Amino acid sequence: MGCCLTSWFSKKQTALVVSTTEAEYVSAGKACQQALWMKQSLIDYGIRLDDIPIMCDNKGAIDLSKNPVQHSQTKHIEIRHHFLRDNVQKGSISIEKVTSEDNIADILTKPLKREPFNYLRLGLGMMEQID
């Protein structure tokens, strides 16, 4: 979008989750898969990226992705969902905190009031600010 390479899709999750942390962790894992696919595709065009940041607004999901220790609350998460954690440890992906006010993805997933909508719309890079 704008000047940025973007991959976006909306899909009902097939995994049963018991917390918002787990749901965000599973979603960040899907984003990790897409980011690594785009990183590999860009190599064909001579573009090499070192570290790809994934922005997440859930502190629990960020902590879970950075901590290799299984906790009793997370032991039920399927191994395939730990793809994100493995790639964070390898250094091919970094996961960073984004505040809810600055989370551009919210414009695509939530009803917003006029001011937050206009602010996030500018963040998409699709249009300039209108005074």
* pLDDT-derived band at 98, boundaries 50, 70, 90: very high
- pLDDT tens, 55-97? 898 898 888 888 766 555 555 565 566 778 888 888 888 999 9
pLDDT for the residue numbered 61: 85
Q: Strand runs (DSSP E) across 80-121, as ranges?
A: 93-97
How far is residue 81 from each of residues 21, 111, 114, 116, measured CA to CA in Å? 13, 29, 36, 32
- Global pTM? 0.71
Domain boundaries, the chain: 20-98, 101-131
Residue-averaged pLDDT of the chain: 79
